[in-house]
Structure 1
Amino acid sequence: MRNPNILAIDLAKNVFQVCKTDSQGNVVFNREVTRLKLKALLCKQQSSLVAMEACASAHYWARYARDLGHQVKVISARSVKAFQTKQKTDKNDALAIATAASLQHIHSVKIHTVEEQALQALERARHLALAQQVAQSNQIRGLLSEFGIVIAQGMSALRVNIPLVLEDAENGLPDSFRAVLHRLWAHLNVQIEHVDMLTKQLELSVSTDPVCQQLMKLEGVGPLGALGLALRLGKGENFTNGREASANIGLTPKQHSSGGKERIGHISKRNADKRLRSILFQGALSVISNVIKRPARTTKEQWLKTLIERRGKKVAAIALANKTVRTAYALLKSNSVYQPQLLA
């Protein structure tokens, strides 16, 4: 059954393109509106299906429209692209969003609550701060190597050696570069403190979240993995089953099947949550490094050891991450507690 009408919004900062279609798919209007006029339009319109691409500010507008009684559908930009048959304009983009929203098999991404949005913002801020810290430390090492001073990898090596390099008056460093190095080192210390503060805040938020604590009982799932799974899966309402949830993260192999013949390939490199998949993969590798050193204690560890012998550590790590996502989906869907099955 089609919705009475669809409001497709091509999001932007100040000027938005809104395309309204009726129950027959006919375009009622397709025009530009300002931010204030868009809010007024959503207030005046009867209950509709409001659709938009998953991009910046999409969660805000989705929550705003849902609070006004509208149905909301936030669609992946890759899915919308398939329905853009003409040139790239705001009108054609809004029309493509309306067309994609009218199809039942085009699903909506999970809409974050305000609390979930705050947790995601904290994780993203820490991720960027950590990347900037690593970039700054690599720059210091690279600049020093041009003067014949080589420092080992790791932040602890920098903390030990940089003060010694600054105090050594006979290492041949020019005074101009010594001043630059002092500024870079002071800036890096500020970044280290910034990362430490964000990490502590993230750990505190995860420790007080019951869903994250529930997910951290899974093998290889730490604070970052638990937070990523909680934000991605929610209560499982956006997925039909665990395999669909795992495929959404990019832990299932791609298919290129035709004529009744199934062809299974590698895991997807494009349609994936690469950050969460990387975190789960690293956690699975840590589990494997411990499992291979001792006898299996649970049925999952027994299955994992057998898989390692047959396919190797990396394939086993992907398989374990896949199983972890499916188990997490089942736990969140049924609101149950994870209990590994011990061997007799």
Structure 2
Amino acid sequence: MSRAKLKELLIKEKQSLVAMESCGGTHYWAQFAKQAGHQIKAINARQVKAFRQGQKTDANDALAISVAARQPHIKGSRLLSVQEQCLQGIECMRDLLVKEKVSLGNQLRALLLEFGYPIAQGDTKLTQAIPEILEDAENSLTGAFRFTINRVYQRFTEAIEEVKLIEKQLHEVIKEDQTCIRLQALEGVGPVCAILIKIALGNITHFKNGREAAACFGLTPVQHSSGGKQNIGSISKVVGNKKLRSALYKGALAVVSQLEKREVRSQKDIWLKALSVRRGKKVAAIALANKTIRTAFAMQKHNKDYQPQLLVA
């Protein structure tokens, strides 16, 4: 069925449940079907796969989606609004440019190291060293290699400028967004992390409570229990919102590291410092990230600002 025919079907069909597998284009079709008056349920591909019988064909996939959509324990994927999609797109493109910048920088350092030019870490050190190496006419670099290094170096500097421009645009968006401003009051939450939390918790009714939200993002231990025996392991590296979890972990780890150099100021600082001494920095950072999501969920649900319990002097 073509896209035009599918649109006609959704418009003419009586109000019903439109189930689909979460993949590319899910948001567009979900929004279109919703405007046509239908109920939407987008299901994770891993959950659909459990209900597929036989070989992987379009017909078997459709049957599996149909069966999975009728199961009461199968929860649909959360769908973003158009504004949240745009924010997510900006952050994804910024992340892509950062990865490109890092990749180009690492390639330049690795190649020049083989010619006896060790370059210190940092974008500033690299931008200072490359022009000096290219201008040195007495080194053994060939003309073709100099040309290639120069082109890659130009791409590297352009990526730096593009990242700065997009980050400037992100900061402008954050200044006008009250949700992001409130979220940045949380420990270890910066501008980018605030946007990721806002996108993840956009539809607060998707989660029953803060613990469910933390589990969805991969910040709770994985269970492997059987026969009445509970076996609680570590957090999963496969499931969850990896980008958000990584941002939360890095911010929390910075808070834990700084806490060793200053006096405690709140009840959370006392809890975090004791946990860090007892279990180590990394466990404490994950625990703080878990608590950050739960606190952010409560802030979004009740539309309140973050109010830490400060110690009385």
Give the TM-score normalised by the residue count of structure 1.
0.89
Q: Displacement, 1:260?
A: 2.2
**Residue-by-residue CA offset, 1:204-261 (whole Å, 9 max, x unaligned):** 1122111111111111111111111111111411111111100111000001112222
**Residue-by-residue CA offset, 1:302-330 (whole Å, 9 max, x unaligned):** 10011011100000000000000011111
Q: Which residue, out of 288, 293, 305, partners 2:261? A: 293
Q: Which residue, out of 38, 41, 55, partners 1:70? A: 38
RMSD: 1.1
Q: Which residue, out of 69, 85, 101, partners 2:69? A: 101
Larger fraction in helix: 2
Q: Partners in 2 of 1:102 and 1:206 — Cα distance? A: 40
Alignment partner of 1:203 is 2:171:
yes
Partner of 2:20: 52
**Residue-by-residue CA offset, 1:64-123 (whole Å, 9 max, x unaligned):** 111111111111111111111211111111111111111121112221111111100000
Structure 1 residues 72-221: aligned runs within 5 Å: 72-221=40-189
**Residue-by-residue CA offset, 1:266-286 (whole Å, 9 max, x unaligned):** 101111111110000000011
Q: Partners in 1 of 2:65 and 2:174 — Cα distance? A: 36
Structure 1 residues 276-315: aligned runs within 5 Å: 276-315=244-283
Q: Partners in 2 of 1:283 and 1:102 — Cα distance? A: 40
Structure 1 residues 6-25: aligned runs within 5 Å: none
**Residue-by-residue CA offset, 1:167-206 (whole Å, 9 max, x unaligned):** 1111221122111111111121111111111111112112
Q: Partners in 2 of 1:259 and 1:282 — Cα distance? A: 37
Partner of 1:12: none
Q: Partners in 2 of 1:70 and 1:317 — Cα distance? A: 43
Q: Partners in 2 of 1:214 and 1:72 — Cα distance? A: 31
Structure 1 portions without partners, runs of 5+: 1-32
CA contact (8 A) 2:43 2:77 kept: yes
Q: Which residue, out of 333, 338, 341, partners 2:301? A: 333
Q: Partners in 2 of 1:242 and 1:85 — Cα distance? A: 36
Look up the equivalent residue of 2:104 and give its one-letter code. Answer: Q
CA contact (8 A) 2:78 2:203 kept: no
Q: Partners in 1 of 2:42 and 2:296 — Cα distance? A: 23
Q: Partners in 2 of 1:288 and 1:304 — Cα distance? A: 7
Q: Partners in 2 of 1:90 and 1:225 — Cα distance? A: 39
Look up the equivalent residue of 1:38 and give its one-letter code. Answer: L
Q: Partners in 2 of 1:191 and 1:285 — Cα distance? A: 28
Q: Partners in 2 of 1:269 and 1:177 — Cα distance? A: 41
SS for the counterpart of 1:237 is helix
Q: Partners in 1 of 2:221 and 2:64 — Cα distance? A: 29
Q: Partners in 2 of 1:250 and 1:109 — Cα distance? A: 15
Structure 1 outlier segments of 4+, above 4 Å: none
Partner of 1:248: 216
Q: Which residue, out of 237, 240, 257, partners 1:272? A: 240
Q: Partners in 2 of 1:42 and 1:63 — Cα distance? A: 11
Partner of 2:291: 323
Q: Partners in 1 of 2:239 and 2:144 — Cα distance? A: 49
Q: Partners in 2 of 1:188 and 1:312 — Cα distance? A: 38
SS for the counterpart of 2:205 is coil
Partner of 1:39: 7
SS for the counterpart of 2:126 is helix
Q: Partners in 1 of 2:116 and 2:243 — Cα distance? A: 36
**Residue-by-residue CA offset, 1:120-149 (whole Å, 9 max, x unaligned):** 000000111111111111111122122221
Give the TM-score normalised by the residue count of structure 2.
0.97
Q: Partners in 1 of 2:21 and 2:296 — Cα distance? A: 27
CA contact (8 A) 2:88 2:199 kept: yes
CA contact (8 A) 1:249 1:277 kept: yes
CA contact (8 A) 1:235 1:332 kept: no
Larger fraction in strand: 1
